[in-house]
Amino acid sequence: MRMRAMLAVLALAAAWTAPALAAPVSVKIETGVLTGDAADKALVFRNIPFAAPPVGELRWAPPQRAPAWAGERDAVKPGPSCPQPMRPDGRPNAGAANGPTSEDCLQLNVFAPPIAGKSAAKAPVMVWLHGGAHRYGAGWIYDGSNFARDGVVLVAINYRLGPLGYFAHPALTKAAGPDAPLANYGLMDQIAALQWVQRNIAAFGGDPDNVTVFGESAGAMSTLQLLAIPQTKGLYEKAIVQSGGGWFAPASLAEKEADGAAVADRLGLPGVQASLAQLRAVPADQLIAQTQSGNYGPFPDGRLLKETASQAFAAGRALDVPLIIGSNSGEDSLMDSFGMNPGARALPPIVKAVYSEDAAKGEEALARAIFTDRVMGGPARWTAAQAAKGAPAWLYYFSYVGARFRPATTTAAHAAEIQYVFEYWGRRTDPASLGPDDRAMASLMHSCWVAFAKTSTPVCASGPAWPAYQPARDQLMEFGADSGVRTNLRKRQLDAQERIALPTLGLPR
């Protein structure tokens, strides 16, 4: 598949811009003193190491504690992105990242609420996991100032990507201890960041006992996988999954080792016989050149991650925390990003029957509707139903199309909701192009997410009450041109997707 990825992320992701400085502000954490900005809406600290640089013997190793520093560390400018393919013209890539990259990238940014020049105390915390197909993106792109303005400490992190973040090889397995985690290094980084939050967030006024982990796309998939890891219990109390799917096909460590051996072979090393020293000696840019030829992302390594998130939810083993999960009406934009052929062929009779309205619009419209439901809509509803057996879950459907895209565009692309959640207009959205309904949608969604972080319930600033999801009622919140609670939205189509998909994954209905 071509990895021109996430065009929607390019267009819609929030991005860092230099704030209007008020005064420098300092905070002391476990590794030393940071000096950041006291900006209009937030106390902002950037490029904070949450783990040691994963270089040398720490490449493809579990993250270690960050070393201390002497004096004050400048925390004004963002740090580098983790290694990933970048555009030669310097423009943002498929995950909206540009600028320098470095293997020394395990850092995060903190946006904290200011009160009379000082941070708030016991503020709820939200930890953002960026998207980008586990291959692209960076935490520094996202501006959490409006969360801080509304009383939330927002933490946005980097994590290892592509062949540096998700890589297995027999040499790595041999060198690791019998129970040491393997291969899912990006996922390990996310856990290390959550552990850092537990140890340090009080210094920024955050409450380590009230943490919400949330993400979009690859970050949302990661959030689901974190819920399948028992060791993450206590690192967060709530989760939000934005277009993260929910049905995952399992892969084995042996399969991933074979993939790693193939990468080694393409790099001119002796494939499965390559040594750990040979692998770690490969320059990062040569490894990153393999990004588009591999399948990278979390998988059950049998140690850290023992089952997929869908297996954990089906068996009732996922961590039981309040959950918001949802998808967008135009998730088929990913078909364009990944170069998929939008043709529909050899469809089962059940699909032809329930998608008759889409089929009437042509083969491409049918394929796009099926993709949206199969990859995102169906899994989100199914996961909400499994989660609802314990702590409450809330399901949403984002269909709002910005004023500048209408009437040519009729559905909300993958990642389109991000700027509304952050209530922030990034570098690819001209604020002058916004209409009052755009700003109203941002205020609405942002208020829902803030309320969930504060109270574990998404009590939104306007509109009807958002009911917790119950399969028998099948109600969700639609964020659209006419936002409100919907009942049995696309029920026939999503039921059909469950009947087809779940047996192939060994999951019960």
Compute the distance between CA of residue 172 and CA of residue 188 in angstroms, rounded to an integer: 15
Instruction: Please identify which residue in the block is written with the tokens 């078909």.
Output: 335
Instruction: Enter the tokens of residue 263.
Output: 């990468």
**Which candidate in 327, 414, 423, 498 is catalytic?**
414
The residue among 389, 255, 372 whose CA lies nearest residue 312 is 389
Known active-site residue 30 = no
Q: Which of the following is catalytic: 217, 310, 329, 447?
A: 217
Segment 49-52 long-range contacts (CB within 8 Å, at least 24 positions apart): 49/106, 49/107, 50/106, 50/107, 50/108, 50/157, 50/192, 50/193, 50/196, 51/106, 51/189, 51/192, 51/193, 51/196, 52/106
Question: Tokens representing 324?
Answer: 């918001």
Q: Residue 506 has which token pair?
A: 């060994």
Residue type, 255: E
Rounded distance between C-alpha atoms, residue 167 and residue 254, angstroms:
12
Q: Is 156 helix (H, G, I), strand (E, B) or coil?
A: strand
Map tokens 């493809």 to a residue: 60
331 assigned to active site: yes
CA atoms within 13 A on the CB side of 189: 39
Active-site annotation holder among 216, 331, 417, 498: 331
Q: Is 456 considered catalytic here?
A: no
Each as own residue / partner, the long-range contacts of residues 28-31 (CB below 8 Å, 24 or more positions apart, any chain) are 28/203, 29/200, 29/203, 30/68, 30/199, 30/200, 31/66, 31/67, 31/68, 31/69
Active site residues: 217, 331, 414
